[in-house]
Structure 1
C-alpha cells in the first residue's frame, strides 16, 4: 500500500508540473464507507505539500495542495426533517440523496475557472460530528492551492449531478475494500460518534445503510483513473 501511495504522489506531482499556471489539478477520491479514502486523501495532500516545500521552500501558510471532504455537503438534520419521508431520510443519512450535490457541483465549477490575480479564496463546508451537522464556509481554498484533493463516497457515481461532478475532475481514484473489512472499521466509528449506542446497533446500521450505499457506489461507478486496494498495514492504516 505504501508503495502505491508513493507512486500516486509522484505521478500527481509530475502531472502538476505540466498543468498551466492558470489552472488547478482536481482529483476526486471515492469508495464505499470505511474504505480508507479519507486516509488516502489526507496522506496524499500532506505529502504533496511536503514535496512542494522541500523543492521550493514554500511556507505551510501557502500550501500547494488542499484536501476537501464531501462530508460538509450532508443535508442538515433540519433539511432531512423537511423531506417527504423524514424518518427514512434520517435513517438513510449517508445515502446519495441526503447530500447537497448541487452546491458541491457549484463550488467545483468555480474552482475550475482560470486563476487570475483577482481569484478569491473560496470556502467549502466542513462537518461537525459533535452537532451532527455541516459548518458553512469552514474550509478555505486559497488561489495558491492548485492541487485540490476531493474525497467522498459518490464522487465517481455515474448518475445525475454526481456524474457531472465526476466529469469536472482531472482524475478519479477509487479505493476498493472488502465489505467485512469496511464494516469492522465503521462499527467503532459509529459508536464513538454517537450514531449507534453499541456495536450491535452499529452493525445493524452498517448492513442496512452503509453497505447498501456501498453497493450503489460500486455498481454505479464510472471509469476511473486509479484503483487503490485498501489493506491494513503499519505504514498506511485507514482511519
Structure 2
C-alpha cells in the first residue's frame, strides 16, 4: 500500500502546486468500514505537510498546508437518535448513512469551497468524543493557510440516499475509494471493536460487524458514484494504523 500512497502524494502535490492560491484542493477518501481509509487519508495529509516543510524550512515544524478531516463529528447525537420515529433501530444502526447529519457536512464543504482571500478566517468542524459517544461542535480547526483538505468517511462518494452526500461529492476535486475484501474488513472490525471496548468479546464484535458495519458497507459499494482513484487495501504488516501513529477508534 505504501507504493499507492507515494503515487497519490505525488499526484496531490503536483495538483496543489497548480491550484490557484485563492482555492483549496478538496479530496474525499471513502470506503467501507474497516477498509483502511482513515490510515490512507491521514498518511497522505502527513506526507503533504512534510513535503511543504521541506520546501519551507524556516517557517516552523508545526505548520503545513494539509488538513486531515474525518467526518465522525457529523454523527447525529444520541439525543437526536432517540428523537427518531424508531429510536431503537436508530441507535442499533448508528454509523449508517441516515444517522449522520448530511446537510451540516454539505454546509462545511460549501464553506471550504469559497474563495480564499485576506479576510478568510479559520473554519471549524466538529469532532467525535468517544468517551461520551457524541460529537463536539467546532473542535477541528481548518486554518485559512490550509490549502489541501483530505476528508475521510464512509459516505463521501455515496450517490444514493440523502441528496447532500452526492452534492458534497460533486464539490470535491478528487474522490478516492479504498477497496477491500469484505472478509478482510470483517476481521479488522472485530479486532477494532474489541480493542476499543465497543464490544466485550469477539462474538459481540462479529455480530456488530455483520449486522451494522458490513450492511452499511454494501450500501456504500452499491451506491458509489464514479471516483478518480480506487486504492486496493490488503493486509500489510508495515501498514498498521499504530505504526503510522493514527488513532483508528471509530463509532461507525
Find the aligned partners of 2:85 and 2:178 in 1 and give their Cα distance: 33
Match in the other structure for 1:167: 170
Which residue in 2 is equivalent to 1:42?
A: 42
How far does residue 231 in structure 1 lie from its aligned partner after superposition?
1.3
- Say which is worse superposed, 128-137 or 11-20, in terms of deviation: 128-137
- Tell me the residue number matched to 1:31: 31
1:53 and 2:56 aligned: no
CA distance in 1, matches of 2:174, 2:159: 15
The reply to whether residue 205 of structure 1 matches residue 208 of structure 2 is: yes
SS in 1 for 2:231: strand
The 8 Å contact of residues 45 and 68 in structure 2, kept in 1 or not, is answered as: yes
- Count, aligned residues: 239
Q: How does 1:89-168 map to 2 (within 5 A)?
A: 89-159=90-160, 160-168=163-171
**Offset of 1:145 from its aligned partner?**
0.3
Provide the secondary structure at the position in 2 that maps to 1:150: strand
If the length of structure 1 is used for normalisation, what is the TM-score?
0.97
Q: 1:63-115, CA deviations, whole angstroms, 9 ceiling, x for partnerless residues?
A: 20001101010001111001000000000000000000110100110010000
The CA distance in 2 between the partners of 1:98 and 1:194, in whole Å, is: 21
Cα distance between partner residues in 2 of 1:180 and 1:7: 27
RMSD value, Cα = 1.1
Contact 2:129 2:136 in 1 (8 A): yes
Query: In the alignment, is residue 228 of structure 1 matched against residue 231 of structure 2?
Result: yes
